[in-house]
Structure 1
Amino acid sequence: MTDQLFADVLVDVPVPETGRTFQYLVPREIQPLLHFGHRVQVPFGGRKVTGYVVGLSHFKAVDKIKEISKLVDEKPLFREDQYALARWMAEYYLCDTVKSLQAVIAPVLKKTSARLITRYYCSVDSSKLPGLREELGRRAPKSLAALEKALLSPGLTRAGLAAAAGVSTAVVDRLCAKGLLKAKDQVSFRDPYPQAEMDVSKRVELNVLQQKAVGEINNSIAGRRHQVFLLHGITGSGKTEVYLHCIEQVLREGRQAVTLVPEISLTPQMVKQFRSRFGREVAVLHSRMSDGERFDEWVRIERGEAPVVLGARSAVLAPVRDPGLIIVDEEHEWSYKQEETPRYHARAVALYRAQKSSGVVVLGSATPSLESYCRATPDGVYRLISMDKRVEGRGLPRVGLVDMREEARAGNGGIFSRLLIAELQKRIAAGEQAIIFLNRRGMNTLAVCRECGLVLKCPRCDISLTYHTEGRLRCHYCNYSMRAPKLCPDCGDSQISYFGTGTQRVEKELRAAIPGARVLRMDADTTTRKGSHQQILEEFESGAADILVGTQMIAKGLDISGVTLVGVVNADITLHMPDFRAGERTFQLLAQVAGRTGRGDKPGDVLIQTYTPEHYSVQAAARHDYPAFFEKEMLLRKTAGYPPFSKMARVLVTGPEEGAVKTAAERLRVMLDEFAQGQDGGRIYLVGPAPAPLARLKNTCRWHIITWSQDYGQLHRMLKKFRRAGGCAPPGKGLHVSLDIDPFNLM
């Protein structure tokens, strides 16, 4: 032991070991200033790199040791519990700890800082005010006006005080120079939703099912017992009100609550509800906010000024010190999975954080993921709470299936069925509103027979084949391929078509089919500007439009009482994607979008256009029958050995030249085979390499390898060895390898 101080530093460079740190000597002049969590600059490999202090000691661990070059920030950027979270993320998702840490503390790493605003106050002793008023009234009435306004409204800015008093800013400056006004620099927090209602709203009276749900959850919160609840509530059953009541309980306990929503488009509506209940105690976090807004909200959370956090995926990383409740609304949504390193799933992070803090997790959904629902069965580890009735006795919408094969036989080759157009005309004439949902999460290359509805699939994988421009159909799991047939293999008809429709075309054909209809479109193109989600929804909710056309962002969460009809175009796109979750995603989308109607006084209807109305996912969604879907889908997953009966991972190789990408992927497959054979536990399955379904994206070629096993320990050990052996290092110039644990997107 020595009087010297040494720091363990996590350096911002790729290393084979996920959590490896390097020891540095702390210069004496910065020893009193340096603490755990500080960002520093250190020499590394002949260059200066950024590092993060994650340990301090008086024991020297290595012989040759370099000094820290400088302290980058005045204050530490993270706490020990945040570092522990980053280490868990890195270990579970097999990525660099420094990348996980940077994700955890992202808002404070941006080039932004607190915004200081100078505010003005009267500095005159109250006993001297009468005489000063008399003097200024005779000599300087404008100065008196400014002084009186500062007394009446302390804390105004220079310009604000001048404007309020009806004087120039020079008058304010003279009062400061004479010592009659004092200026104070204060932190001013940027509010991302200044228009949101801040008045505390009336408490809503809960129905019996809501009361039961709140009672169960609040018992665990009050008892400080870690518990996971799956709140399976049908659309319109009042799950949000349950969330709000449980958050109130958490605040009574002196703890914090985090609520996650899957889509940015849902955030304005939720902000309004949360702010009306909790006022300025609510902080909002999502990617569409400016860096300054996110930084300010982050600081308010860290200082304890905002114990209620609401936001999208990254909000699960908010710096709450004692999370007593984490709510994951629409927990089944795949947008909770991060597609860049670290590839974390917000639901998994929520479970980890709540377990560490003895907190409660509520997973809410009308269409739970199979992974969550099977854990909420009698033998599972989650507690299931069912809410199977809508609030105020409203009924579920009637769902009709439109067989587009019959439409084609009748000579209708357009996007819309005759029934859907007729129903839209009927609703508009009655002053009601409709939503047209375009199921566009897929590709324009789905091969379907318009006569019999056959979707061409891989004989090895039972995954739909993808059409390529060279005239071949290819499986993006095992690389099986075949020439695209001119005639249907089942019925011999020549009506083989390749489907894909955009929202702009839907909007255009709607206007042509129903002249005079007021149509709004909500998709990635119309929501690029800040606040555009909220603007479109408010315009539609106000009755300024008859029909809202949109993609996934309108499929959930919207509660607009005027909507009495939902039409679904291209229901089959997700159904036949080359992904084992295709059936699950289709059921979830159809059930969720169906829930957008009938939420007011009038009943709602849904029309689903499909070429495969007999498919179990479509049938179950039409009947609002989640248990039937769950039973059928779980049987198929068990037969194939897919999740939730196994854990899965994906190795993706990308690069500009397909030949080099393919060769690199083949070499990585050899490495994986070698490490898989060295495991002693359960069998590890490997398929590929094969071109990813999106085989070329932004001029980048993409090949992948899929691996899964019922023994997650074995799979994790194999992948850890693979990473240590350099499997995730760039395999050549311009090439990149990514490893995704629990992938939700295999495209």
Structure 2
Amino acid sequence: QEARNRGKTVLLLVPEIALTPQMVGQFEQRFPGDVAVMHSRLTPRQRYDCWESIRLGRQPIVIGARSAVFMPLADLGLIMIDEEQEESYQSDMSPRYQAATIARLRSRNEGAVLVLGSATPSLESYQRTEEGKSRMLSLQERPGTASLPETHIVDLRRDWNSDTDGLLSLELIQAMQEALARDEQVLLFLNRRGFASTCLCKDCGEAVQCPSCAIGMTYHLQRNQLVCHYCGLTQNVPEHCPSCGDEHVILYGAGTQKLESICERLFPAVTIVRMDQDMTSGAYGHAKLLKRFREAGAAILIGTQMIAKGHDFPRLTVSAVLSADQMLGRNDIRAAEKAFQLMTQTAGRAGRQELAGKVYIQAFNVDHYALQSAAAQDYPAFVEQELNFRRVLRYPPFSVMATIGISSEREEDCRQIAAHLYEKLSSMTGLPEWQGVEVLQPARSALYKLQGRWRWQMLLRAGKDGGVRKLSTLWQSVSLLRVPQGLRLSFILDPA
């Protein structure tokens, strides 16, 4: 409001516009006729009309996902980024950019105020406050009369409920029964879609993989088919193992569809809403599901990470993180940080108003510091331990890292170019002007085949002083190389 009173324009970035109908509605109610909403589901004509209206100054407030950072707002006074730690602000398609970094540069160039909002700020943003480059403003208490929920850690080594395939412990089921009996609501977060995560052979142990991607296929109950979540390929469940020919092919693991079927069996009279990528097609898919859950009485909301963020349900009193070990075990230097953020956000959905809340976190590795910190809602404790870990290993935010991606339909081309780039860059970084730059050996990407293309990657690391400039200059040298036809090179620089 202060920015508008001064005649300034305002930009609000959100991770995904479809997940924030509540926020958009509040802005449109407060500033009728002034709000433009930009998102990927607009038609080209609608997008152009919206862009032209912004350019002409007819709509001085813009709400949108990452691409909205480029909107032609004149006399920009305020940029706000909601859930600034979200990965969705990084564009993995050309042109590759990090929206939060662009927003920081734009605010500096145009003299605007930049506000980053998050209950769990990224470590890069936190470290900037420690270095005096930005200022941290902390909310010490929940708004109104709400208090922090009571948190329970469920050790699945001791409380494994075979009746629910380990998804719902007896302690959690009891809490759900009590809440639903009081006409309250429950949220169950499981970060995996589908019914069974793996289709494998009991004899040889081989899982059925997508022929175009180096990833196992997931069984979806409604389709009665295996689906690749990366390229969309579908196929029937094989009667015999494709590897050894044995007929003992089984469906193993669990996803949101299986959790839904278990809840339907345990709570047949209760409204159950599942919210994942399979259920949210169409321009208003998210909003319809959220409205249905909000207007229901006793109800259970099941979903992937899209249900963990930004929602405010007055009667939601039980929130649970299922299979937390899946997040903690990712092959990613930020695995602990991302797991902590998701667990903390999920916990934050319970007891947001007058009704007291309870949170349940189910895992095997219950002593992990990220899990313990999330259970205690103790962001400073997590940051202290994670920053110590990053400092010792020279990971961001104590260094600048970049990834050179190499992909081709021919695996041998990927391997040869990766080896050539490593040799070239290693010889360059041996020179005095490149002191402090480290080139790590190339390796297959974690998902080393995607949509028929083989993928390799190489990491570059440099000190914070001049690191962005050095790594960018190295990439300019790489981008000029002649490569085999069909081979693609990409460069992603860690947020500076």
Distance 1:512 1:659, change over 3 A: farther
Alignment of 1:548-559 (within 5 A): 548-559=301-312
Q: Deviations over 1:525-556 (max 9, x none)?
A: 11111111111111111116711111111111
| Mapping for residues 397-436 of structure 1, pairs under 5 Å | 397-408=149-160, 413-436=165-188
- 1:600 match: secondary structure: coil
Instruction: Note the 1:85-234 alignment, pairs <5 A.
Output: none
Whole-angstrom CA distance in 2 between matches of 1:281 and 1:398: 41
SS in 2 for 1:273: helix
CA distance in 2, matches of 1:743, 1:512: 46
Query: 2:450 maps to which residue?
Result: 697
Query: Residue 349 of structure 1: SS of its match in structure 2?
Result: helix
RMSD (CA atoms): 2.4
* 1:725 CA displacement: 4.8
Q: Does 1:389 align with 2:141?
A: yes
- Say if 1:682 and 1:711, in contact at 8 Å, map to a contact too: no
Relative distance call for 1:316 and 1:468 in structure 2 (3 A) is: closer
Q: What whole-Å deviation, never above 9, does each CA across 1:278-314 have from its counterpart, x for those lacking one?
A: 0110111111222222222211111111111111111
1:321-470 correspondence runs (5 A): 321-377=74-130, 379-408=131-160, 413-440=165-192
Residues 666, 432 of structure 1: alpha-carbon distance in 2 compared, 3 angstrom cutoff: same
- Mapping of residues 201-600 of structure 1, within 5 Å: 248-377=1-130, 379-408=131-160, 413-440=165-192, 501-543=254-296, 546-600=299-353
Which amino acid in the other structure matches residue 625 of structure 1? D
Letter in 1 for 2:153: L
Alpha-carbon spacing, 1:679–1:713, altered in 2? closer, same or farther (3 Å): farther
For residues 511 and 688 of structure 1, what CA distance do their matches in structure 2 show? 50
TM-score with structure 2 length normalisation?
Answer: 0.85
Counterpart pick for 1:604 among 351, 357, 361: 357
Three-state SS of the structure 2 residue aligned to 1:405 is coil
How far has the Cα of 1:711 moved from its partner? 4.0
Instruction: Tell me if the contact between 2:181 and 2:298 (Cα under 8 Å) persists in the aligned partners.
Output: no
> Where do 5+ consecutive residues of structure 1 fail to align?
1-247, 446-466, 470-497
SS of aligned partner of 2:447: strand
Helix, strand or coil: the match of 1:642? Answer: coil
Structure-2 separation of matches of 1:567 and 1:717: 45
What secondary structure does 1:363 align onto?
A: strand
- Specify whether residues 707 and 300 from structure 1 end up closer, same or farther in structure 2 by C-alpha distance, changes over 3 A only: same
- Give the Cα separation in 1 of the matches to 2:293 and 2:475: 52
1:636-715 pair list within 5 angstroms:
636-680=389-433, 682-711=435-464, 713-714=466-467
What CA deviation, in whole Å up to 9, does each residue of 1:214-268 have, x standing for no partner? xxxxxxxxxxxxxxxxxxxxxxxxxxxxxxxxxx111111110101111233331
After superposition, the C-alpha distances for 1:13-41 in whole angstroms (9 at most, x for unaligned) are xxxxxxxxxxxxxxxxxxxxxxxxxxxxx
Shift of 1:665: 1.4
Amino acid at match of 1:407: D
Aligned equivalents of 1:690, 1:336: Cα separation in 2: 26
Q: Are the aligned partners of 2:18 and 2:284 in contact in 1 as well (CA < 8 Å)?
A: no
Larger radius of gyration: 1
Q: Distance in 1 between matches of 2:396 and 2:481?
A: 24
Contact 2:351/2:358 (<8 A) preserved: yes
Measure how far apart 1:674 and its partner are.
2.0
Matches within 5 A, 1:732-743: 732-742=484-494
| Cα distance in 2, alignment partners of residues 662 and 566 from structure 1 | 46
Equivalent position amino acid for 2:323 in 1: N
Query: Is the alpha carbon distance of 1:687 and 1:513 closer, same or farther for their aligned partners in structure 2, counting shifts above 3 Å?
Result: farther
CA shift, 1:401, in A, is: 0.7
Output the amino acid matched with 1:604: G
Structure 2 CA distance for partners of 1:663 and 1:569, relative to 1, 3 Å? same
Q: CA deviation at 1:721?
A: 3.9
Q: Give the gaps of 5 or more residues in structure 2.
A: 199-213, 217-250
Kindly provide the CA deviation profile for residues 96-138 of structure 1, in whole angstroms up to 9, marking residues without a partner as x. Answer: xxxxxxxxxxxxxxxxxxxxxxxxxxxxxxxxxxxxxxxxxxx
Change (3 A) 1:265 1:401: farther
Pairwise CA distance, 1:412 = 7.1
Aligned residues: 445
Give the Cα–Cα distance (whole angstroms) in 1 for the partners of residues 393 and 28 of structure 2: 46
Counterparts of 2:368 and 2:478 in 1: how far apart (Å)? 45
Residue 258 of structure 1 aligns to a residue in which SS? strand
Secondary structure of the equivalent of 2:158?
helix
Deviation readout 1:295-353 (Å, 9 max, x if unpaired)? 22211111111111111111111110111100011111111111112221111111111
Q: Percent identity?
A: 39
- For 2:464 and 2:359, how far apart are their aligned partners in 1? 42
CA contact (8 A) 1:684 1:715 kept: no
Over 3 Å counting, the alpha-carbon distance change for 1:712 and 1:291 in structure 2 is farther
Q: Distance in 2 between matches of 1:333 and 1:688?
A: 28
Query: Is the Cα–Cα contact under 8 Å of residues 215 and 447 in structure 2 kept in the other structure?
Result: no
More off after superposition, 661-670 vs 350-359: 661-670
Specify the alignment match of 1:455 in structure 2: none
* Change beyond 3 A, Cα 1:297–1:545: farther
* CA spacing shift, 1:674–1:722, aligned 2, 3 Å: farther
Query: 2:22 and 2:105 mapped to 1: Cα distance?
Result: 28
